[in-house]
Amino acid sequence: MTHDRMTHDRTQLLDDLRRACAGRHTLLVGAAIGTGLAARAAARGGADFLLALAAGRFRTMGASSIATMLALRDSNAFVADFACSEIVDATPIPVFFGACAWGLAEEEFSPFMERLRGWGFAGVVNFPTVSHVDGRFREALERTGLGFAREVRLLEAARAGGLATVGYFRRREEALALARAGVDVYCFNIGWNAGGAVGVPSGESVLQVGNRARGHIKAIRTADPGALCVIEGGPITTPQEMHEACREARADGYIGGSTIDRLPSESSMEEMTAAFKLVSTLQRRIDRLERRLDQTGQGMGLVGRTDALVETRARLEHLGADGGPVWVAGPDGSGRSLVATLLHGRGPQRQRPPMTVDARHLDGGWLFGAEPADGGRRRLGWVEAANGTTLVIENAEGLTPGTQAELAAFLERGSFRRQGGQETLRSNARIILIGTAGLEAAAGAGTLAPELARRLARRDIDLPPLSERLDDIPLLVEHFAAALRPSAGPVRLSPRAFRLLIAHDWPGNLRELRAVVEQALDGSGDVIEAEALPSLDGKRAGRPRPDAPGDRSPKQSERDWILDGLRRHRFRRGETARFLGLSRKTLYNKMRHYGLLE
């Protein structure tokens, strides 16, 4: 092993981590890996630091991470072998060595740390750890000097040797022992990762483990103010679940092991192998497989792989063909008009173009027509004019209660009367109503008449805001770029540009993202870099943002407004006060008034 590798200054490293966490208002991400390929990929994806662990190597061998708890290898020699040859030189990102305290005599701790510095490691993490052991066996380990206290002394030796330290723990007393030792980064290890072929099932939900982690992190920050605290493992298997758990725990970041290497590798290799296998069979079977695997929605224009979009497309297919009424809900810019168009295109009356009207300009006379009075002219209503096609009614909550009742009766019977008339008329117009609130919410708020809500029951499609489907942004960018520059090739986001876009709130939803892409494409090649993005700090691209970042919506209570601001900024009062436009003292007084202080 060579000894001329770069060295990392511990103080500078920790300053960089704190600056990255605070400056970007985002989460730190560490990648616990076992190969050079994974190290380079994680670095390109924006990882802040790497952990070379025996578990990462075992996963590449097809074993579960839990195998590290068995005496299958000399753990320290095992990690040193692959980490020095593949990982340390693969990227300038700092690498923490997963050191096994049981594999060294205590008098060997300090010399071992000198070797790690010479090999180019930036720090040490206590792994494997007895934190994963409980019961009588754990008691026996502690009595014989092979318990958690030995791991703490290992980390103390690392710090004394100029190395940064990450301390794994699962119990509060372990966390406090790490705090007394002056550990640099605390990692609450929830447990072995669930999911995939060899995952360990978790009995807790993401929010439950986040809440449990929150108590430990609070205790750490009481003992060590300003501590960097991250979480790892358990039921967290997706970026969205990571975000939910960190927000609930008020953690500074996340360390991914199986979630970064094993789970993506299992899924992608399984799908790719199946595709190669099946491509040798009949083309008809290949086409059927592609239709089944295509979850992006590119074909219909409703693009996304998140569960919400997959469910939306399924409901659209289910409701589209029968020609019945549909309630389409979602915030402005979320794609409601597109869904209405797709519903029409799948219905029995798609030969004629749909007709669209704004409910704010309607009354019963405009919707159903009116007979002449005092020699006037007969007024033809929209329902009558849309016979044989689809009538899309935007801002449907704006219909008067009387008009909603008439519309419910028409949907029930298929017939209506003009205002002031006695003749019963029929129309087969398909009615699609577009609103902001979901069907149940609109009915509960009284903006949707009960009889109309009953007629639309189980015939609704809810579109989520873009802020709840951030994983879809790369697909959406590619889709918008193809529409804006149809003659150009595919366009993708750089990792840094992607991180900037997912950190934004997207109050204008898809409409705002399209405007951002349109500006970013000016002068861009096939990759949109972060520098090409327009400002996302309030100087809007395209359609102006309706509210300032911390504005309170009309339907939001003051307590919910303040709690939302606190969660967005991980309960950092200074940042929250600036976001909401309050002084720190005013924010503190309001938090005390609403019981938000701990």
- How high is the pLDDT of residue 284? 53
Residue 232's DSSP bridge partners are 189
Nearest to 482 by CA among 517, 512, 515: 517
Nearest to 545 by CA among 397, 394, 331: 331
- How high is the pLDDT of residue 137? 87
Check: CB of residue 209 under 8 Å from CB of residue 234: yes
Check: CB of residue 231 under 8 Å from CB of residue 254: yes
Check: CB of residue 430 under 8 Å from CB of residue 324: yes
Q: Check residue 83 and report its DSSP letter.
A: I
Q: Which segment, 191-195, 200-204, 303-307, is predicted with the most confidence on average?
A: 303-307
Q: What is the pTM of this model?
A: 0.49
CB atoms within 10 A of CB 222: 11
Q: What is the 3-state secondary structure (H, E, C) of 65-77?
A: HHHHHCCCCCHHH
3-state class percentages of the chain: helix first, strand second, coil last, to nearest 5: 50, 10, 40
Report how far residue 413's alpha carbon sits from residue 415's, in angstroms, rounded to the nearest whole number: 5
Residue 394's DSSP bridge partners are 358
Confidence of residue 451 (pLDDT cuts 50, 70, 90): very high
The 10s digit of each residue's pLDDT in 175-196 is 999 999 999 999 998 887 765 4
> What value does the mean pLDDT take over residues 368-375?
82
Report how far residue 363's alpha carbon sits from residue 317's, in angstroms, rounded to the nearest whole number: 32
Amino acid of residue 498? F
Quick one: tokens of 126? Answer: 């206590």
Report how far residue 144's alpha carbon sits from residue 121's, in angstroms, rounded to the nearest whole number: 30
Report how far residue 506's alpha carbon sits from residue 470's, in angstroms, rounded to the nearest whole number: 10
Q: What percent of the chain is modeled with pLDDT above 70?
A: 86
CA-based max dimension of the chain: 108
Report how far residue 480's alpha carbon sits from residue 332's, in angstroms, rounded to the nearest whole number: 18
Report how far residue 30's alpha carbon sits from residue 56's, in angstroms, rounded to the nearest whole number: 13
Q: Distance of CA 587 to CAs 22, 428, 597, Å?
A: 20, 57, 11
The 10s digit of each residue's pLDDT in 314-354 is 899 999 989 999 999 999 999 999 999 999 999 998 999 99
pLDDT greater than 80 at residue 557: yes
Report how far residue 583's alpha carbon sits from residue 371's, in angstroms, rounded to the nearest whole number: 61
The 10s digit of each residue's pLDDT in 234-263 is 888 788 888 888 989 999 999 987 777 766
Q: What is the DSSP secondary-structure string of 491-547?
A: -EE-HHHHHHHHTS--TTHHHHHHHHHHHHTTT--SEE-GGGSPP-SSS-SSSPPSS
Evaluate the omega torsion of the peptide bond into residue 235 and state whether it is cis, within 30 degrees of 0.
no
Check: CB of residue 20 under 8 Å from CB of residue 28: yes
- Please report which helix (H) or strand (E) contains residue 89, including its range: none
Q: How far apart are the first and last CA of the chain?
A: 51
pLDDT greater than 60 at residue 278: no
- How high is the pLDDT of residue 435? 95
Report how far residue 81's alpha carbon sits from residue 77's, in angstroms, rounded to the nearest whole number: 6
Report how far residue 53's alpha carbon sits from residue 66's, in angstroms, rounded to the nearest whole number: 12
Confidence of residue 293 (pLDDT cuts 50, 70, 90): very low
Residue 357's DSSP bridge partners are 393
Lowest mean pLDDT among 65-74, 219-228, 291-300: 291-300
Confidence of residue 509 (pLDDT cuts 50, 70, 90): very high
Confidence of residue 274 (pLDDT cuts 50, 70, 90): low
- How high is the pLDDT of residue 460? 96
CB atoms within 10 A of CB 408: 20
Check: CB of residue 223 under 8 Å from CB of residue 179: yes
The 10s digit of each residue's pLDDT in 113-168 is 999 999 999 999 999 998 888 888 888 888 888 899 999 999 999 999 999 999 99
CB atoms within 10 A of CB 577: 21
Nearest to 563 by CA among 546, 548, 580: 580
- How high is the pLDDT of residue 484? 87
pLDDT greater than 60 at residue 7: yes
The 10s digit of each residue's pLDDT in 36-47 is 888 888 888 888
Q: Which residue has the tokens 């060595």?
A: 97
The 10s digit of each residue's pLDDT in 83-121 is 999 999 888 899 999 999 988 999 999 999 999 999 999
Residue 29's DSSP bridge partners are 254
